[in-house]
Chains A and B, each alone.
Chain A
């Protein structure tokens, strides 16, 4: 294989594996904040037990997230050196800001979150949990800003530096708030919240099925299903607004997502189907006019098709279409699952519905798969550009790196990541089988103090 293919496989594989973990950190972060807040407010020890159990799961995902994340930062330089020279001025700034504002915050307060239970007061611990969660969200902000700049560049100009053209910042805030960054950030965060919430839902549903840790499972389900349902509904809003943004700023991508070859008004939305690239058409169930309507609430709107772009500027249609529709399909399924689970939980009969409980157990895979497919769609849909409209992907490669070198490192990373994944699943399963700790129903150390103090304060 050539350097380009290998470099793309390597980046795709390492980032796909990495991205199993950050959404869990972000999503579980929110859930931990909610659980600890509930504990502080209600003093119900079940929330303390929940916070402790899910903190242990959080620690496991965080460690792998950090270890695989540093690879990503290095890969821009190792495999995509020409790209790095071209965008360093802009993209590098967002990455450095991520380090300063997000990673330090997250990893610093993580120490208190994991090891500080007996060393600090409840309020300090709660504050630390909030800071870890905030840090995880900040890291999403900066990395999505950086990636969105590659999708919809703004706030820059092209300058020749040492005889080579490159992008330089003209307006930092235009860079940060480039046309797609906020829509995409919201979309990524909703996906992350779903990922965290459905992990909690899945494990709790499994406890209900096995009739274990019932109080813990019910309390976790309440938090998980609530956040899962809210995030799934918000995701619908976010997806809708993201699609309009793509239509406006990356029309070739939207055309590929929908397999729309001809520019047309009354453009149809495909519900299920596939793209016949030979005959340049979509085969499947279509809803006429719906795509036009979604783009601007009017079926008469003209939607740009792939025919508006020369063949060398079109993204791979079939792949973009499948990734995108897979993501959307899962998105709707998650709403249905969350809503059903939530309704039966409120009704009090969820524990009798074993079929639904089994669906909830497997629901953890939905957001993970949708996250992956969504990113595949976003990145494949941007092709053939590495920076939309400015630099083509093959132009971004390192000039001095040979194919056999990339292949060696690709094999090495693949072996190491398979090992990490196997160990992760093994340890996660072990934690789930072990379940919450009964000891955690009784807070110890300084955490026990505030309750006693409030007792004393009462006249």
Chain B
């Protein structure tokens, strides 16, 4: 592994998407669980738990997309034009998720709220699922032509392995969201969420184990680097321990630590994904020679350098005020007249 600019940007794009998963992951998870309660006040509490922060969280995806465009334009072009319909579905899901939060509380009618509740919930669930399917396809490999264009079809993206990654991602987000919900609520809803969270944890663990087995059996290139360099297995070990630690901390009502373990699980999963992909960004199947890598798909060194300066100025600022804002809105959700 050369530690050049291309590698730095490989890591930075990974950091942005991991940040997105850790932050908007709980928003999407809360959304997916939204219909589990029928009570209007409880639904409002759930929405207001993410109300002040979901918007900033979604920016991680926008910036991740922008960084991909700037650093690896060929990947951005190939994947976005290749996964066309899947991405349009993702966009519509994200649109409904976003506007439903804003629109729902503006009218008291039952049908009105019901309508946006469904939009919010399905939009959130589908967003997680589709992001997972996209990631799964990139891991499994997609047909890439000699000139770097996508050579598959929309239905060709919906094969079992990517769908399994999709379901696992949705399960991960639901678990993450349920734990976040437990942290932000009290009373009856808190108890209800505690039960859901436990179910989500079990569901996620089943998915994660299945996905690990499937990856080892059917996607050998996604385990190749760890196979070659056994010390990297430590990351897999940390990942397993982090996942195992989630129910443990949760059982002892250390919800905050359970949430952090969930974040750690996401980080290590993304690290394993990145380490095994490197230096590929999109794995080409059946001809791995056409894979898009951090070298043949990247911008010029000059641009990567300029962008690195921008990132070095921007990212610390972003982290600083994101922390401040989470601090201002810490604690349990209290509904008031500004709430959704």
Contacts and interface: CB of A to CB of B under 8 A. Distances in A.
Interface stretch (B27-35, B60-68, B194-202, B234-242): B60-68
A88 B81 contact: no
Interface string A95-119: 1111111011101111110111111
A420 B85 CA distance: 21
Contacts of A383: none
Interface in A58-84: 59-60, 63-64, 66-71, 73-74, 76-79, 81-82, 84
B149 interface: yes
Given A73-B62, A96-B70, A100-B314, A159 B300 contact: yes
B158 to A, nearest CB: 15
B69 A108 contact: no
Interface in B306-323: 306-307, 310-311, 314-315, 317-318, 321-322
Contacts of A99: 59, 62-63, 65-67
B321 A105 contact: yes
Interface stretch (B48-56, B224-232, B253-261): B48-56
Interface string B63-94: 10111011111101111111011011001101
B101 A74 contact: no
B338 interface: yes
A84 B300 contact: no
B77 A81 contact: yes
Contact of A111 (B53, B77, B92): B53
A113 to B, nearest CB: 10
Contact of B85 (A103, A120, A409): A409
Contact of A97 (B78, B96, B102, B310): B310
A88 B76 contact: yes
Interface in A174-215: none
B106 interface: yes
Contacts of A120: 328
Contacts of A313: none
B303 interface: yes
Contacts of B53: 111
Interface string A419-434: 0100100010011000
Interface residues of A, number: 75
B41 interface: no
A79 B310 contact: no
A405 B300 contact: no
Contact of B99 (A67, A101, A412): A67
B336 A118 contact: yes
A84 B92 contact: no
Given A76-B69, A101-B314, A105-B321, A89 B74 contact: no
A9 interface: no
Contact of A95 (B66, B79, B87, B147): B66
A172 B310 CA distance: 11
B252 interface: no
Contacts of B63: 96, 99-100, 103-104
B302 A169 contact: yes
A162 B56 CA distance: 37
B55 A88 contact: no
Query: Which of A60, A64, A67 is the most central at the interface, judged by chain B CB atoms within 10 Å of its CB?
Result: A67
Contacts of A97: 66, 310, 314
Given A67-B99, A89-B70, A108 B321 contact: yes
A108 B69 CA distance: 23
B117 interface: no
Given A66-B98, A67-B99, A78-B88, A168 B77 contact: no
A453 B310 CA distance: 42
A170 interface: yes
Contacts of A439: 337
B13 to A, nearest CB: 10
Nearest to B320: A108
Interface string A143-175: 000000000000000010110101011101000
A82 B99 contact: no
Contacts of B73: 84-85, 87-89, 92, 166
A443 to B, nearest CB: 13
A92 B151 CA distance: 24
Nearest to A52: B338
Contacts of B106: 60, 427, 430-431
Nearest to B91: A71
Nearest to A170: B302
Interface in A292-332: none
A168 B58 CA distance: 29
A100 B310 contact: yes
B130 to A, nearest CB: 12
Contact of B59 (A63, A87, A107, A159): A107
A399 interface: yes
Contacts of A78: 80-81, 84, 87-88
B67 A74 contact: no
7 contacts: A76-B80, A88-B72, A103-B62, A109-B325, A118-B338, A162-B296, A164-B147
Across chains A and B, which 10 residue pairs bring their CB atoms closest together, nearest first?
Answer: A88-B73, A77-B80, A99-B63, A92-B70, A100-B314, A111-B52, A92-B69, A63-B102, A96-B66, A81-B81
Given A60-B106, A103-B63, 7 more contacts: A96-B69, A104-B321, A112-B328, A119-B328, A168-B299, A400-B149, A409-B84
